[in-house]
Structure 1
Amino acid sequence: MQLNLERPDYQYFLRGADGTGALVNERRLSASFIIAPEALVEDWPVRDAAGLTPADLEPLLALAPELVLLGTGANQVFPPAASLAACLRRGVGIEIMSNAAAARTYTVLAGEGRRVVAGFLFP
């Protein structure tokens, strides 16, 4: 059996994430970041989902997603309701999950050509 590495047809692809870091393209990131198929925002200053404010979501929403995925570290941690409402008021869906689950979901949705943006939190 021959195995070939196939790269997606978009600029930034996420190979995986966990509670300590993520692999984007060929780079290991260990600080919170935002990713979309055509954008990467490194050093997003948010570190904790429990303290997430609506203003913290503005860099994600500025990328005009139809869906926001929020990876909250090794475990799923829900942000305050006001932060979730900030997305919903704009008609943007938001899903909260662990970094590993968010990475898998992001990869599938980006591969389908969906307008997805993901934020990954690292302490």
Structure 2
Amino acid sequence: MARFVPEEAAAGPVLQGVGAGGFRVDGTLYRAVQLSPSRAIAWTPPALEALSLDDLAPLLDPAPEFLLIGTGARLRRPSPALLAAAQARGIGIDLMDSRAAARAWVIVRGEGREVAVALFPLDA
């Protein structure tokens, strides 16, 4: 498991590593997880093509600066409807594979930024 060691831990959940089994957050291993600045939420995501803002609702209240979506082992695109709905609500979304999204979340949270991430399983 690749381990993450932020220089300074921001308040909230700490993403400690990513590996074949999933994402280790505060000592708990999640196959898929949503992380807000204040909490980690176990997640059973829908197929990426079916992902909607409703599936991401726990991350959107309060609204983050932007939302990272880790799309699994490789970068994939969600439906245009999701991206349009997010844009209509003024929610910025960055897409990347789940390992990259996890690393980015650690870095950006270490800067104290109010971002959220939804991480699809690495076998997705």
| Fold agreement, TM-score > 0.5 | yes
Q: Identify the residue that residue 89 of structure 2 maps to in structure 1.
A: 90
Unpaired stretches in structure 2, ≥5 consecutive residues: 1-5
- Aligned structure 1 segments of 4 or more residues deviating by more than 6 angstroms: none
Q: Which sits farther off after the overlay, 51-60 or 72-81? A: 51-60
CA deviation map 1:89-118 (0-9, x unaligned): 222210111111001100111011111000
Residues 6 and 109 from structure 1, CA distance in 2 versus in 1: closer, same or farther, beyond 3 angstroms? Answer: closer
Would you say the 8 A contact 1:19–1:73 is kept in 2? no
State the one-letter code of the partner of 1:38.
S
- Listed as ranges, the gaps of 5+ residues in structure 1 are none
Q: Which residue of structure 1 aligns with residue 54 of structure 2?
A: 55
Letter in 1 for 2:51: L
Cα pair 1:70 1:102 within 8 Å, conserved:
yes
The alpha-carbon distance between structure 1 residues 59 and 9, as it changes in their structure 2 partners (threshold 3 A), is closer
Give the structure-2-normalised TM-score.
Answer: 0.82
Aligned length: 118
One-letter code of the match for 1:41?
I
Percent identity for Structure 1 against Structure 2: 34
Residues 29-85 of structure 1: CA distance to partner in whole angstroms, max 9, x if unpaired?
11x22102211111x231421221232222221241111000111111110011112
Structure 1 Cα separation of the partners of residues 51 and 10 of structure 2: 32
SS of corresponding position for 1:113: coil
For 1:17 and 1:83, locate their aligned partners in 2 and report how far apart those are by CA, in whole Å.
Answer: 26
- Matches of 2:80 and 2:20, distance apart in 1: 23
Larger radius of gyration: 1
User: So what's the TM-score if we normalise by structure 1?
Assistant: 0.82
